[in-house]
Amino acid sequence: MILGGRAVKIGDHVSTDQILPGRYMSLTDAEELGRHALEGLDPEFSSRISPGDILVAGVNFGTGSSREQAPQALRAAGFPAILAASFARIFFRNCINIGLPVLWSPQASEGISDGDLLKIDTTTGAILDETNGASFDTSPMPGFVASITEMGGLIPYALSRSGKRLFETEGERTG
Amino acid sequence: MVGVTVDLVTCDELSFPQVAAMIRTLGVERVFDGDRVAVVADHETPARDLVSAEHMKATRVFASEFEIGHLLDAGEAGIVHVVVPERGLVSPGEIMAGYDSHVLTAGALGAFAVGIGATDTAVAMAFGELWLRVPESVRIVVDGEPRPWTTPKDVGLQIVARLGQAGCLYQAIEYDGAYPASLAMDGRFTLVNMSIEIGAKSAAIEPDAIALDYLQGRGARISEPVWADAGASYAATHVFDVEGLAPMIALPSAPDSGVPVSEVAGKHVDQVFLGTCTNGRLTDLRVAAAVLRGRRVHPGTRLVIIPGSPEVFRLALAEGLVQIFADAGAVIGPPGCGPCAGLHMGVLAGGEVGLSTSSRNFPGRMGSPESLLYLAGPAVAAATAVAGEIAGPEEVVGTRPPKEIAVSVRGRVE
């Protein structure tokens, strides 16, 4: 999938408590979640962004709580993909599991400025900063993880397996 | 990337409604194995408002319909990370996954325990399967004898401060050295629990006689402990000498900002909270009681104490600890997470300063975005409540805790 959008930059170690404060965790309406996205970082955040913008975070993005409402809120706020210098692991897998493409690149996070126009190929992991001309390569997701994102998340993926083992794997463990 | 079969899947009650909806979408009639699925009320229990009351009601119906073996609610409610080991639901060498970042706590028993998200949890409860990226392994070796009042929490704060919030990102930690081996289980849970604050995927301590003794009589499955081969290679080995380490405190608003308590002594604190999956166990309450016995909470400060589980609460009652807390003027809440995530029973107002025994203090974590939160262990928490300002136990009580406290913290006292 090729995505184009304006970069919205935020800093390092932004936690899920800032992405979606705990008091909104019982919200179930996507639109409402989206209105509170990153409210803990900047109360006016949702008024600064437009649908299609690409979030560009620093290191350890999504640290802290495992709440899946955090990536859900970011998607509902209109981000079609998230790029970061690095991700906290539960947040990272939550993005994959809800079908929100994630790109992991310290170079791109450093080289992209707030407001730059980006073009991203979520399949190959290629990133182009059209404003300053810089390009960055990230590793595409391996194997079944790529399928999970492409199918729109782990639920559609699991439904597509219809009774088969969910994940093709070496080093399988049972019991 | 690998697929694994899980031995136990857990979820808390606040997060379960989204998981339940996804399990229904998956089209299964029951969970994959009722005995290996636990839903534990801890975040907002007893129901804090109408929304949580309705969610819990629906969860009880769902658990019965989908044959969930362990629905722990009301008098059985307590922090999932405290309750799961107490009930012997996980054993050394098993794979446990659950919807919460502190799930890795069970690694203190030598399980491979990982935090996952809602969708993961739904799929794992429905099919017993989970995808995992095989992590790099790192060793954290801790040796030395800290000061008498220094608890495993202080050692954990020191480790987090030195390695930083992303110090072990996506890695599996093995704790090694004389210090972790010397700890009783309560302290091991504390140390392993804090590993999420350096970004770890999982963390573990080799299951030894202390771990196996702990599980005795708890109905745990017989399992095959798994541990690293001698001479295994690691992505990194971090060595800590905690000889003489003084009690620590993490400053607002990052868990990796730990400094010796003396550096910030004297700062006013509005509320002290003692509890959580980090420090809500019997040993933590004993340490706090040793400070609070015969003393009163400072009139300008509130002290909220929340035991981690019904078992902790009962034992604390039997030992007279609850009496000590009540006499000191503390508020004592029912077992659960309390205000840790800014949800229930004692959140902070704007402009307030809190001190908590939990493991994280990100901006706005315990309530208002305008509140400030320090992190410390139970001894510093209790001393601060008495002083009304940040204080170490040495200043409030004296240089040495009573002997029985040392014995409680350390499984082996040389």
pLDDT, tens digit (0-9, with 9 covering 90-100), for B45-68: 999 999 999 999 999 999 999 999
Q: Model ipTM?
A: 0.92
Nearest to A167 among B118, B131, B363 (CB): B131
Question: Which of A66, A91, A95, A102 is the best substitution to test chain B (most B C-beta atoms within 10 A)?
Answer: A66
Q: Return the SS3 of B242.
A: coil
- What are the tokens at A75? 């998607």
Tokens 């204080």 belong to residue? B391
Whole-model pTM over 0.80: yes
The enclosing H or E element of B399 equals: none
Cβ-based contacts of B4 with chain A (< 8 Å) = 169, 172-173
Q: Give me the tens of pLDDT residue by residue for chain A, a chain 175 residues long.
A: 899 999 999 999 999 999 999 999 888 899 999 999 999 999 999 999 999 999 999 999 999 999 999 999 999 999 999 999 999 999 999 999 999 999 999 999 999 999 999 999 998 999 999 999 999 999 888 888 889 999 999 999 999 998 789 997 644 443 3
SS3 B235: coil
Cβ distance A155 to B360 less than 8 Å, yes or no, reads: no
Q: Which residue has the tokens 């009580």?
A: B397
Q: What is the pLDDT of residue B181?
A: 96
Q: Which candidate from A40, A59, A63 shows the least CB-CB separation from B364? A: A40
Which residues partner with B258 through β-bridges? B250
- CA–CA min distance A115, chain B (Å): 26
Cβ–Cβ of B120/A97 closer than 8 Å? yes
Distance in angstroms (rounded) separating the CA atoms of residues A133 and B97:
43
A109 part of contact set with chain B, CB < 8 Å = no
Q: Which of residues 55-74 of A touch B (CB under 8 A)?
A: 59-60, 63-69
Segment (H or E) for B119: helix B118-127
Q: Give the per-residue pLDDT at B410.
A: 82
B187 close to B410: Cβ distance less than 8 angstroms? yes
SS3 of chain A: the string is CEEEEEEEECCCCCEHHHHCCHHHCCCCCHHHHHHCCCCCCCCCHHHHCCCCCEEEECCCECECCCCCHHHHHHHHCCCCCEEECCECHHHHHHHHHCCCCEEECHHHHHHCCCCCEEEEECCCCEEEECCCCCEEECCCCCHHHHHHHHCCCHHHHHHHCCCCCCCCCCCCCCC
Q: What DSSP element (H or E) covers B201?
A: none
Residues whose CB is less than 8 angstroms from the CB of residue A15 and which lie 6 or more positions away in sequence, other chains included: A40, A62, A63, A64, A65, B360, B362, B363, B365
User: Could you give the CA distance from residue A64 to residue B397 in angstroms, rounded to a whole number?
Assistant: 34
B244, B229 contact by CB (below 8 A): no
B237-288 tens-digit pLDDT:
999 999 999 999 999 999 999 999 999 999 999 999 999 999 999 999 999 9
* Cα–Cα distance, A13 to B22 (Å, whole number): 30
CB-based contact B242:B179 (threshold 8 Å): yes
Pairing relationship of beta strands B248-250 and B258-260 according to DSSP bridges: antiparallel
Retrieve residue A120's tokens: 């991203």
Taking contacts as CB-CB distances below 8 angstroms, the residues of chain A near B129 are 165-167
Distance from the A33 Cα atom to the nearest Cα atom in chain B, whole angstroms: 14
What are the φ and ψ backbone dihedral angles of B163, each rounded to 5 degrees?
-85, -25
**Does A171 touch chain B if contact means CB atoms closer than 8 Å?**
yes
Phi, psi angle pair for B274, to nearest 5°: -115, 120
B70-72 sheet: strands from edge to edge? B70-72, B37-40, B8-12, B95-99, B112-115
CB atoms within 10 A of CB B65: 12
- How many CB atoms sit inside 10 A of residue A51's CB? 11
Residue ranges in chain B modelled with pLDDT below 70: 411-414
Strand order in the sheet with A117-121: A102-104, A82-84, A54-57, A2-9, A117-121, A126-129, A135-137
